[in-house]
Amino acid sequence: MSELTTLFYEQPLWAQSAIGLALLALTAVIVNFLIKRVLLRLAAPFLDRRTKTADRAAARLANVVPALIIGNGINLVPNLPPKVIVVVHNVCNALIVVFIAFAISGALSYVNELYARRPEAKNRPIKGYVQVVKIAVYSGAVILAIATLMDRSPLLLLSGLGAMAAVLLLVFKDTILSLVASVQIASNDMLRVGDWIEMPSMNADGDVIDIALHTVKVQNFDKTITTIPTYKIITESYRNWRGMKEAGGRRIKRAIHIDQSAIRFMSDEESRDIRRFRILDEYIQGKQAELAQWNAKNAGDSPVNARRLTNMGTFRAYVGAYLERHPRVRDDMTVMVRQLPPEPEGLPLEIYCFTDTTVWGEYETIQSDIFDHLIAILPEFGLQLYQHPSGMDMRTGLAGAGGKA
């Protein structure tokens, strides 16, 4: 050992410094490797192996030890200028602060991942709060690291922040707005992961897949991703379909436009013939009794004073009875058939009801089946749909006019 020491001191000064630095670096690398292996093995039983976040946090924390070795061991390297020793010492201390900040950030990410697996995480995500804490940790780390590199007190840097308040507010404007929005979203339960929302101003129409501090990500139905600034969820209007999903029924609100020229009173033969529809038995009996009572008092001898069944009113009653008996229409929610004011496109007869499912494909099938049936059965009531003349209508009309000529 004495021979090695003698040999070492016989080397030139720069060689002594180079050998010392090499030994110091080698020691730091070996210790770093051993610490990571030991630390991860000790922590393994307590960590969730489904994620590597905790491993990365532990690895960053293990980097503190080599930085300590280099920061303190630099004093043992011979023939180094005092200024170099001070610089290396300050840099190592700054790196220690940075590594600790990274480790805390990784630990916070690990906590967020564990919480995200809990059932209540869908309703109360903490990702936004975790990001706020990370920003605070990184901000503190930057101040401490700069103060360490400058070999000054962190209080001197903090005292200068007052003069930079306006600049900081401008720089962190979106962060502050997003933080306030995140608190309101969480406290008022305005938005959850999995909610279907529509926000036309942002071209968003799909499911919320992520709620973070600065952004809300929406996966549209065409699988594109729309990123919405979090504060816009508070400042702009959007539609949340969560209530529909929780209710278990999706609304049908669509009108059939009836040709008004086809609306008329029903003849006695048609009134008897309409009894073929079993679901109209109760309506026909009650309506005829009502009309007979009214006509006995007010009709007199002239039929113009009498009230009679109309094909439109009977069809409206049929639609209501059909919906009430439909197996895929919720009978515990609103079922209504209403006649809207006449329009140039005909007389709208609006269907208002709820299906027993919120699945989009099933909903569309149920809605189509209902309107297919109603449109097909219209002629049985002497009614017809209103539609603008098509090319075939024009050709038929012109052909008829030419034949008469």
In sequence order, what are the residues at sequence separation of 6 or more whose Cβ sits closer than 8 angstroms to the Cβ of residue 278? Answer: none
Task: Summarize the confidence of residues 82-91 as an average pLDDT.
Answer: 80
pLDDT at 195 over 70: yes
Q: Confidence band (pLDDT; 50, 70, 90) for 251?
A: very high
Query: Which tens digit of pLDDT belongs to each residue from 106-143?
Result: 888 888 887 877 777 766 777 777 877 888 888 888 88
Task: Tell me the pTM.
Answer: 0.59
Out of 125-129, 164-168, 183-187, 263-267, least confident range: 164-168
Rounded to whole angstroms, how far apart are CA atoms 125 and 112?
9
Highest mean pLDDT among 5-9, 108-112, 209-213, 247-251: 247-251
pLDDT at 225 over 90: yes
Q: Confidence band (pLDDT; 50, 70, 90) for 11?
A: low
pLDDT at 336 over 90: yes
Give the pLDDT of residue 296. 80
pLDDT at 60 over 80: no
Q: Confidence band (pLDDT; 50, 70, 90) for 14?
A: low
Task: Summarize the confidence of residues 2-20 as an average pLDDT.
Answer: 59
Rounded to whole angstroms, how far apart are CA atoms 362 and 356?
9
Give the pLDDT of residue 353. 94
Give the pLDDT of residue 80. 72
pLDDT at 362 over 80: yes
DSSP state of 65: H
Give the pLDDT of residue 82. 79
Task: Summarize the confidence of residues 355-381 as an average pLDDT.
Answer: 93
Rounded to whole angstroms, how far apart are CA atoms 126 and 194?
15
CA 236 centroid distance within chain: 15
Three-state SS at 164: coil
Give the pLDDT of residue 48. 59
Q: What is the phi-psi region of residue 194: left when phi exceeds 0, alpha when psi lies from -120 to 50, beta otherwise?
A: left
pLDDT at 9 over 60: no
Give the pLDDT of residue 2. 58
Q: Confidence band (pLDDT; 50, 70, 90) for 268?
A: confident
Out of 40-54, 73-87, 172-186, 377-391, least confident range: 40-54
Highest mean pLDDT among 73-87, 90-104, 270-284, 355-369: 355-369
Task: Summarize the confidence of residues 358-382 as an average pLDDT.
Answer: 93
Task: Summarize the confidence of residues 99-104 as an average pLDDT.
Answer: 87
Give the pLDDT of residue 142. 85
Q: Residue 261 is encoded by which pair of tokens?
A: 């020229």
Separation of first and last alpha carbons in the chain = 128
pLDDT at 404 over 70: no
Mean pLDDT across the chain = 81
Rounded to whole angstroms, how far apart are CA atoms 386 and 120?
51
CA 89-93-97 angle, 5° bins: 170
Q: What are the two backbone dihedrals, phi and then psi, of residue 338, each rounded to the nearest 5 degrees?
A: -130, 150
Whether 141 and 148 have beta carbons less than 8 Å apart is answered as no
What is the chain's alpha carbon radius of gyration, rounded to the nearest angstrom? 39
- Higher-confidence position of 262 and 388: 262
Give the pLDDT of residue 100. 87
DSSP H or E run through 254: strand 251-258
Q: Confidence band (pLDDT; 50, 70, 90) for 378?
A: very high
